[in-house]
């Protein structure tokens, strides 16, 4: 039976949003601590302490009522299919509005009780989309407000406050966020300075909260095509600048890292060993790994005609084209690339497009004309096999369910997610990473 949560749309008043850690531990809290202990002893985790979840940003959830309904209707159904008898990990997506509503003390305690009732736990939160993420045009607004703004700082800090209350004992907590901003949003040195200052403010909050709560918490910037942090090299340069702002401040390395999305860096034609090696060389934590795949095609006239089905009006689908000589050309969206006059001309056989469209991990594209960047994901999994302590937080992220072409949407969302678990667990098991 579903638990009645406080799902009112009104924002809680200032008094009710007092520090979550100042709430008295009630009898419910004491009972909950025993449930958390059971998760600590036997979580749904892989060998070497890795945790695997699917990201619930695949479901609608623009306020806490919608978010909870999606968890209750879909996440529990997936859990019953893939992990009915052990604690089940949830990769939670919270919008700004949902996070404000959940921060109300009664709503949070009710959600904690729901987690315990269903033997579930939260170890990571997707804090990338601030506002609406389904059912209407998102495009460049997914990056706003960006890290030049106080709104992004307050939202992210609130997510960590919530996560510190939700985490089981002795499990790290991660939040993923936008790669600072969209490139075209940033036009002045003052904006760059503001992004660094605001990230330092967030690091200070995370460090204080980690010490107070006894949980190790970290934020992951998520490089993405055409964003301010787009490539691993740009990311390294930005971290160098952050370190130069406050030399020898160890809080940066402890609490700020990268959310490595395998779709995004595959679209950039980067190789996994180069990416991981670069981050290691510069001491950058991999906070979380997003398992995802992009489209990969040879842009013949036939392919370009067929690709139109992927050009939706909701999300950005950045395209990076590589010529025979290795030169990269970037297009902000798939429809822009398809409108390019060269798109109708058969390119040399070595030319390739990579398209930021998250396709289901277990599914083949709609036609033999297409391929995916699954080889990049396999490369990351191979690195995990060699170094299983690289990153304990693994999350499958195929948020494009609502805009998939019919050929890829020929099952229910629960069926799709269960199939993604089967595929992912099978791939990890082949590499010796098995369920604990």
pLDDT in tens, 254-270: 999 999 999 999 999 99
Residue 324 is predicted with a pLDDT of 84
Q: Average pLDDT in the 336-346 region?
A: 69
Q: Average pLDDT in the 206-224 region?
A: 97
d(CA 2, CA 327): 55
Name the DSSP letter for residue 315: S
Q: Average pLDDT in the 109-114 region?
A: 97
Q: Average pLDDT in the 220-244 region?
A: 98
Of the listed ranges 35-49, 119-133, 135-149, the one predicted with least confidence: 35-49
pLDDT of residue 372 exceeding 60, the answer is yes
Beta bridge partners of residue 331, listed in sequence order: 319
The pLDDT tens digits for 280-332 are 999 999 999 999 999 999 988 889 889 999 999 999 999 999 988 899 999 99
d(CA 180, CA 143): 8
pLDDT of residue 422 exceeding 90, the answer is yes
Mean pLDDT of the chain: 88
H-run or E-run covering 254? helix 251-255
d(CA 177, CA 127): 5
Beta bridge partners of residue 261, listed in sequence order: 290
Query: Is the torsion defined by CA of 364, 368, 370, 374 positive or negative?
Result: positive
d(CA 81, CA 139): 33
Residue 38 is predicted with a pLDDT of 41
Residue 6 is predicted with a pLDDT of 34
Six token digits for residue 404: 């998939």
DSSP three-state, residue 140: helix
* Number of Cβ within a 10 Å radius of residue 305: 13
Residue 44 is predicted with a pLDDT of 52
Residue 301 is predicted with a pLDDT of 86
Enter the pTM of the model. 0.89
d(CA 196, CA 202): 10
Confidence of residue 36 (pLDDT cuts 50, 70, 90): very low
pLDDT of residue 91 exceeding 60, the answer is yes
d(CA 205, CA 157): 7
Task: Please state whether 425 falls in left (phi above 0), alpha (psi between -120 and 50) or beta.
Answer: alpha
Contact between 228 and 180 under an 8 Å Cβ cutoff? The reply is yes
Backbone φ, ψ for residue 259 (5° rounding): -90, 105
d(CA 203, CA 253): 10
Residue 343 is predicted with a pLDDT of 55
DSSP three-state, residue 208: helix
pLDDT of residue 41 exceeding 90, the answer is no
């Amino acid at each position: 039976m579903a638990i009645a949560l406080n799902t009112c749309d009104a924002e809680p008043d200032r008094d009710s949003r007092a520090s979550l850690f100042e709430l008295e531990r009630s009898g419910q809290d004491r009972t909950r601590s025993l449930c958390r202990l059971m998760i600590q002893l036997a979580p749904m985790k892989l060998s070497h302490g890795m945790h695997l979840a699917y990201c619930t940003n695949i479901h609608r959830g623009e306020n806490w009522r919608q978010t909870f309904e999606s968890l209750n209707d879909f996440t529990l159904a997936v859990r019953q299919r893939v992990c009915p008898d052990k604690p089940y990990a949830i990769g939670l997506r919270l919008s700004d509005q949902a996070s404000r509503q959940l921060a109300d003390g009664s709503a949070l305690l009710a959600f904690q009780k729901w987690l315990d009732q269903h033997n579930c736990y939260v170890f990571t939160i997707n804090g990338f989309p601030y506002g609406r993420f389904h059912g209407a045009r998102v495009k460049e607004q997914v990056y706003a407000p960006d890290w030049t703004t106080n709104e992004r700082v307050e939202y992210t800090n609130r997510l960590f406050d919530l996560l510190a209350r939700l985490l089981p004992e002795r499990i790290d907590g991660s939040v993923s966020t936008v790669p600072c901003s969209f490139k075209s949003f940033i036009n002045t040195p003052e904006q760059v300075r503001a992004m660094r200052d605001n990230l330092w403010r967030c690091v200070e909050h995370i460090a204080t909260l980690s010490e107070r709560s006894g949980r190790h918490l970290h934020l992951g910037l998520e490089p993405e095509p055409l964003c301010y942090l787009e490539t691993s090299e740009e990311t390294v340069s930005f971290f160098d600048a952050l370190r130069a702002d406050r030399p020898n401040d160890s809080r940066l390395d402890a609490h700020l890292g990268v959310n490595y999305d395998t779709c995004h860096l595959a679209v950039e034609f980067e190789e996994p060993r180069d990416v991981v090696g670069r981050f290691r060389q510069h001491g950058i934590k991999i906070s979380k790994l997003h398992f995802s795949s992009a489209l990969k095609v040879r842009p013949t006239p036939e392919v370009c005609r067929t690709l139109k089905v992927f050009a939706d009006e909701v999300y950005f689908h950045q395209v990076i084209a590589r010529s025979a000589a290795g030169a990269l050309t970037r297009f902000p969206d798939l429809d822009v690339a398809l409108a390019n006059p060269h798109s109708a001309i058969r390119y040399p056989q070595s030319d390739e497009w990579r398209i930021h469209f998250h396709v289901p991990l277990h599914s083949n594209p709609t036609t033999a004309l297409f391929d995916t960047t699954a080889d990049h994901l396999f490369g990351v999994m191979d690195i995990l096999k060699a170094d299983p302590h690289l990153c304990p937080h693994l999350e499958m992220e195929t948020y494009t369910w609502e805009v998939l072409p019919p050929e890829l949407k020929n099952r229910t969302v629960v069926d799709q997610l269960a199939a993604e678990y089967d595929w992912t667990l099978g791939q990890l098991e082949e590499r010796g990473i098995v369920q604990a």
